Amino acid sequence: MSEENNSKNFIELEIDKDLAEGVYDHVCTRFPPEPNGYLHIGHAKSIILNYGLAKEYNGQFHMRFDDTNPTKEKEEFVDSIKADIQWLGADWGDHLYFASNYFDRMYEVAVELIKKGMAYVSDLSAEEMREYRGDFNTPGKDDPNRNRSIEENLQMFTDMKDGKYEDGSHTLRAKIDMASPNINMRDPIIYRVAHMTHHNTGDKWCIYPMYDFAHPLEDAFEGITHSICTLEFEDHRPLYDWVVKAAGFKNPPRQIEFAKMYLTNVVTGKRYIKKLVEEGIVDGWDDPRLVSIAALRRRGFTPSSIRKFVELSGVSKANSSSDYAMLEYCIREDLKTSRPRVMAVLDPVKLVIDNYPSDDVEWLDAPNNLENPELGSRQVPFGKELYIDRDDFMIEPPKKYFRLFPGNEVRLMNAYFVTCTSYETDDNGNVTCIHCTYDPATKGGDSPDGRKVKGTIHWVAAKTALTAEVRLYENIVDEEKGVYNEDGSLNLNPNSLTVLKNCLVEPSLSDAKAYDSFQFVRQGFFCVDSKDSKEGALVFNRIVSLKSSFKLPDKQ
């Protein structure tokens, strides 16, 4: 096998084989979400995979909403899914489709199946249907209606369409094999009665096709060559193939399954997220503690970081889990040389330089990113009164504490050496003000006499600092106790969100817009919140901390 083939995943090898053997002369893939919730990180893998295959083979990529279940679907979800896919960089061009636009054609296929004696109307209840279906150890029993005449089936199916039956009273079933070892092939339901208003077709229909019938037809109608889906559909593949063959397609799509993306210690189930949203535990499907694509975007993740994560996770047939820490690694790698490093004080305490000229505002040069000189530098204001982080001062420090304490000298980042001379406290002993003197000869952070300091701390000038809200996020579930409780409920982490109200940031952030991201020196990477941040009232989400113990495996 060539080195090129060694680098390809199993799906690419299958496509290569199909093209070489003339099964298809082109490649056309699709992403077919159901608009019943927001997409999550697992869907990102499917989007990136399907779009990537279309690009790799100079083919087409289709975006299609599998909107066959009006009970759970909303325009809100349609809009969010389109926005997510475009943000990830998958371009469907003119190929945006809805399953509901094919309802007339699907109905015609169902009528043809009845005429061929390959489908029949059943009036079994849901409970009776389960009983007749059997299980893995027991073959199914024939539906009493299995041998209705074609004429009677046609009339009853017409009556279903015309609204003459109540919800759940009648179904259309494919006539396949009630003794099949694959339960999906035991005369599956292909249409059901449901008097529901559809987000796209309104009240035109009161019968709706089942997913396993609609999906293969949609693929075939659109000329999809390779229907890439996840492993849980492997047992559905015989039904997929049966439908497109029974419908008469001469060169039907081929279904290929791959392993889902599982992420450790996160919540991806729509049912759970919906409950979190409805109970107000999170502030929407895009709450930054979630791993919906909208939430990751709002938190500050980038499309390139998610694409890198998908690439590192790989494409295989074997189920496995990826560590959330690897996703954090990808965003750190993406941001560390591409974003400016600015000063932000999250827990401020005042610092006064007693020997500094009281009215002066001095502008100092600060590099935007020491690892990437191309980002240039900016001017930051400096003055007599500053704010530093409370953690950067201690009255009685432990050994190896190199920041500020009485009598100690430190470097103020990009500014001067200062020495602590005294401090003030309130009645409870909390430090309220730190007094220092500075050495004017150390401008820029270096001493002409060669003396060294071991500590460097960041700061903001009191006169020009901007007030901001900063949100610190942890996992929404308690990782130590596990995602789920014994009763199936979520094991929520009570410390998943910490809101810091009176943080101070340097004035260079005054023009920061939604989704702009920065490295706050020594604090982590932060993004302007797209929902709550306003002009004059900045809100920042912590994307990720600066350091992690995560290491890529050697094979990477």
User: Rounded to whole angstroms, how far apart are CA atoms 337 and 374?
Assistant: 10
Residue 267: predicted pLDDT: 85
Residue 6: predicted pLDDT: 64
User: Rounded to whole angstroms, how far apart are CA atoms 385 and 383?
Assistant: 6
**Beta-ladder partners of 99:** none
User: Rounded to whole angstroms, how far apart are CA atoms 41 and 259?
Assistant: 14
Residue 487: predicted pLDDT: 75
- The helix or strand, by DSSP H or E, that contains position 309, with its residue range, turns out to be helix 303-313
Residues 18/254, Cβ–Cβ less than 8 Å: yes
Residue 553: predicted pLDDT: 63
Structure tokens at 117: 């004696």
Q: Model confidence over 80-94: pLDDT tens digits?
A: 999 999 999 999 999
User: Rounded to whole angstroms, how far apart are CA atoms 354 and 489?
Assistant: 57
Residue 55: predicted pLDDT: 97
Half-sphere exposure of 209 (CA within 13 A, CB side): 25
Q: Model confidence over 442-469: pLDDT tens digits?
A: 998 888 888 899 999 999 999 999 999 9
Which domains can be identified in the chain, with CATH numbers? Answer: 104-208 (3.90.800.10), 344-458 (2.40.240.10)
Q: Which of 80, 86, 470 is nearest to 295 (CA)?
A: 80
Q: Which of 67, 322, 345 is nearest to 197 (CA)?
A: 67
User: Rounded to whole angstroms, how far apart are CA atoms 445 and 65?
Assistant: 58
Residue 551: predicted pLDDT: 67
Residue 1: predicted pLDDT: 42
Query: Phi/psi at 422 (nearest 5 deg)?
Result: -170, 180
Structure tokens at 53: 């295959």
Residues 12-18: contacts with CB within 8 Å, 24+ apart? 12/53, 12/56, 14/226, 14/256, 15/53, 15/57, 15/226, 18/225, 18/226, 18/254
Residue 477: predicted pLDDT: 87
Residue-by-residue pLDDT tens, the chain, 556 positions = 444 566 899 999 999 999 999 999 999 999 999 998 899 999 999 999 999 999 999 999 999 999 999 888 888 999 999 999 999 999 999 999 999 999 999 999 999 999 999 999 999 999 999 999 999 999 999 999 999 999 999 999 999 999 999 999 999 999 999 999 999 999 999 999 999 999 999 999 999 999 999 999 999 999 999 999 999 999 999 999 999 999 999 999 999 999 998 888 888 888 888 889 999 999 999 999 999 999 999 999 999 999 999 999 999 998 888 888 999 999 999 999 999 999 999 999 999 999 999 888 999 999 999 999 999 999 999 999 999 999 999 999 999 999 999 999 999 999 999 999 999 999 999 999 999 999 999 998 888 888 899 999 999 999 999 999 999 999 898 877 777 777 777 888 999 999 999 999 999 999 999 999 999 999 999 999 999 999 999 999 999 999 866 666 654 4
Residue 207: predicted pLDDT: 97
